Amino acid sequence: MTFIFIWIMLIGPMKGEEKTYVQDSTTFAIAVMVLLFIAFIAVTSTVLFL
């Protein structure tokens, strides 16, 4: 889970969007939370169905 979070945070700088990354930090933070929530649901569903 931590690896996924770090990987997502590295996407912005890797694409050379530092300026946009800083300006959209709030939107980016919300996107990260949504992605983590989706990942959490996916993991929970996988565990339950196994």
Mean pLDDT for each 10-residue chunk of the chain (50 residues)?
65 55 67 86 87
In which domain, by residue range, is 22 found? 2-49
pLDDT at 6: 66
Q: What is the reported pLDDT for 49?
A: 83
**How many domains is the chain partitioned into structurally?**
1
- Residue 15: its pLDDT value, please? 57
Q: What pLDDT score was predicted for residue 9? A: 63
Of the candidates 8, 2, 10, the one whose C-alpha atom is nearest the C-alpha of residue 40 is 2
Distances in Å between the Cα of 48 and the Cα atoms of 28, 34, 36, 37 are 30, 21, 18, 16
CA distances from 16 to 19, 20, 21, 22 (A): 8, 9, 9, 12
How far does Cα 24 stand from its chain's mean position? 14
Residue carrying structure tokens 């959490």: 40
